[in-house]
Amino acid sequence: MKQRILSVILAVIALGAAFFGANYWRAHYLAGVTVVSLPVPKSDIPPYTLLDASLFTQGDFSTDLAGKGYALSVNDLVGKISAGTLPNGQPVSLRQAIPPAEFRLADPSLEVVAIPLDPLSGVGGQVRIGERVNLYRFEMPPVPEDQTQPRLIPMAEVIYVATVPVVAVLGADGQAAMQPFTASTPQAQGQQQQQPAVLKMLLVAAPPETMQVILQAIAMSQLQDELLWVTLATPEPAQDELMTGQMR
């Protein structure tokens, strides 16, 4: 009798252990299979924000979201710019996190400004995106009112403003102005019958402190008797070539 009772007790214990083990395995196995950890904003992130890791935490979501265009790691978001509001606690669509080069015309650390020019003062319109240009002011000194001698043309003072990269070359309506190319290229052959847009605006990028000087030069060219002129900057030598030249 005692042997029978002991067998029943052992059977109940074994059954309970099996049930507990099955549930424990099921909970942990399914958690690993059906749940994925995705980066989510700690709070709403407004548009045009440069994203970094401190803005995000991790949240658990169904694995159905994996491969559906959402960021799987915070590394997928760092260094990008939010193209819209990224809601708190929600997975981030990669369509809403855009690399700076695709979202704006220049690096996030640089400001961009449009300089009004015509082809004469803008290297004849032969300026391409990616080139570096020098900006100069032509300042005319005042002519004395009591000048009794034959009128002399005062010498303009040429003032260097900045050297900046070109990020866009535009016409009067903001359309892209035709970039220079040779007549033998396929691009030229395909555009021979098209009327090119004439250079009217040159978009350049610069750090904020340099941009202040550029804006002053633009204002003086628009409001005072000054000219703003552009030249192509000389290419910068490679560092190894520069060192070789110093050793000679």
The average confidence (pLDDT) of the chain is 79
Structure tokens at 33: 């299979």
Summarize pLDDT for 102-137 with one digit per residue, the tens: 888 888 889 999 999 988 899 988 898 989 999 999
State the Cα–Cα distance between residues 117 and 222, nearest whole angstrom: 11
Whether residue 94 sits in one domain with residue 131: no
Task: State the total domains in the chain.
Answer: 2
Summarize pLDDT for 197-247 with one digit per residue, the tens: 888 999 999 999 999 999 999 999 888 778 899 999 998 765 544 333 444
Query: Do residues 134 and 112 touch, judged by C-beta distance below 8 A?
Result: no
Buried-exposed string 5-16: b where 16+ CB fall within 10 A, e elsewhere? eeeeeeeeeeee
State the Cα–Cα distance between residues 134 and 208, nearest whole angstrom: 17
| 116 occurs within a structural domain | yes
Residue 69 belongs to domain with CATH number: 3.90.1210.10
Report pLDDT for 151.
59
Whether residue 212 sits in one domain with residue 116: yes
State the Cα–Cα distance between residues 4 and 201, nearest whole angstrom: 98
**Cβ within 8 Å of residue 181, ≥6 positions away:** 187, 188
Q: Using CA of residue 194, residue 200, residue 201, residue 202, what is the dihedral sign? A: positive
Q: Where are the alpha helices (H) located in 82-207, listed in sequence order? A: 100-103, 186-190
Whether residue 44 sits in one domain with residue 92: yes
DSSP assignment string, 37-83: EEEEESS-B-SS-B--GGGEEEEEEEGGGTTTTB-SSGGGTTT-EES
Q: What is the DSSP letter of 68?
A: T
- Residue 173, pLDDT above cutoff 70: yes
Whether residue 120 sits in one domain with residue 79: no
Lowest mean pLDDT among 27-41, 117-131, 158-172: 27-41
Whether residue 207 sits in one domain with residue 119: yes
Whether residue 212 sits in one domain with residue 130: yes
Range of the domain at 131: 111-143+153-241
